[in-house]
Chains A and B, each alone.
Chain A
Amino acid sequence: AQSVTQPDIHITVSEGASLELRCNYSYGATPYLFWYVQSPGQGLQLLLKYFSGDTLVQGIKGFEAEFKRSQSSFNLRKPSVHWSDAAEYFCAVGRLRRGSTLGRLYFGRGTQLTVWP
């Protein structure tokens, strides 16, 4: 069965510190992988995505993520966190191809990031 696990419900870091948010997935084939960010009271914004090729992908706002097939992981990283990065982060997986059971994303439960000044 398809599933996404974000092991950390809440992470707190100091401004300027590095950040890594974990994401593990279970999927029958090599999935497409996504990270979204949600600020309070807002919708979800796409940070980055991986489909194929280079396993290290760059996204917006200075974020990057690395796909590790052997570990079924897609962890999100940022070298230096800014106070404005405080938000909730969601990992998602899917296989967006035409079909009756495809075309949907499976989401993790999210990781809430708090940034101390």
Chain B
Amino acid sequence: NAGVTQTPKFQVLKTGQSMTLQCAQDMNHEYMSWYRQDPGMGLRLIHYSVGAGITDQGEVPNGYNVSRSTTEDFPLRLLSAAPSQTSVYFCASGNIYGYTFGSGTRLTVV
């Protein structure tokens, strides 16, 4: 049972490049979320989903896109990377009993 798997663990992008952060869960959880973590800012919600085909914006959605075509996968797309998107990104999946977090992706945009 792998839980929540995020790939890649580290990534360096140039400004303007696009990329997709992958997130997969094998717990049949209905909820999935993407957070970014910056020093002193805690965890800020980017997008979340309450089921396949249903997504909604969080606190900081600009510059990011998501879709959820299956229960298991919830990829996060950076459309045109900017230095302000340098951060650690966490994916989480959950149900009514709470959320389980992945180990994170450290992204640097230069």
Chain A residues in the interface with B (C-beta under 8 A): 9, 32, 34, 36, 42-46, 49, 51, 90, 96-110
Identify the closest chain B residue to A42 (Cβ). B103
Chain B residues in the interface with A (C-beta under 8 A): 30-31, 33, 35, 40-43, 45, 48-51, 54, 56, 58, 90, 92, 94-104
Q: Are A108 and B42 in contact (CB under 8 A)?
A: yes
Q: Are A96 and B48 in contact (CB under 8 A)?
A: no
Number of interchain pairs (Cβ within 8 Å): 69
- Residues of A with C-beta under 8 A to B50: 98-100, 102-103
> Smallest CB–CB gap between A108 and chain B, Å?
6
- The answer for the CA separation of A71 and B35 in the assembled complex, in Å, is 28
- The answer for the CA separation of A32 and B90 in the assembled complex, in Å, is 21
Within the complex, which residue of A44, A49, A51, A98 is in contact with B90, where a contact is CB–CB below 8 Å? A44
Q: Are B96 and A97 in contact (CB under 8 A)?
A: yes
Q: Are B101 and A103 in contact (CB under 8 A)?
A: no
- The answer for the CA separation of A96 and B98 in the assembled complex, in Å, is 8
Q: Are B31 and A46 in contact (CB under 8 A)?
A: no
- The answer for the CA separation of A51 and B30 in the assembled complex, in Å, is 18
Identify the closest chain B residue to A34 (Cβ). B98
- Residues of B with C-beta under 8 A to A104: 31, 33, 45, 48, 56, 58
Q: Are A96 and B94 in contact (CB under 8 A)?
A: yes
> Smallest CB–CB gap between A113 and chain B, Å?
15
Within the complex, which residue of B42, B98, B100, B103 is in contact with A107, where a contact is CB–CB below 8 Å? B42
> Smallest CB–CB gap between B62 and chain A, Å?
18
Identify the closest chain A residue to B6 (Cβ). A43
Q: Are A96 and B97 in contact (CB under 8 A)?
A: yes
Q: Are A43 and B101 in contact (CB under 8 A)?
A: yes
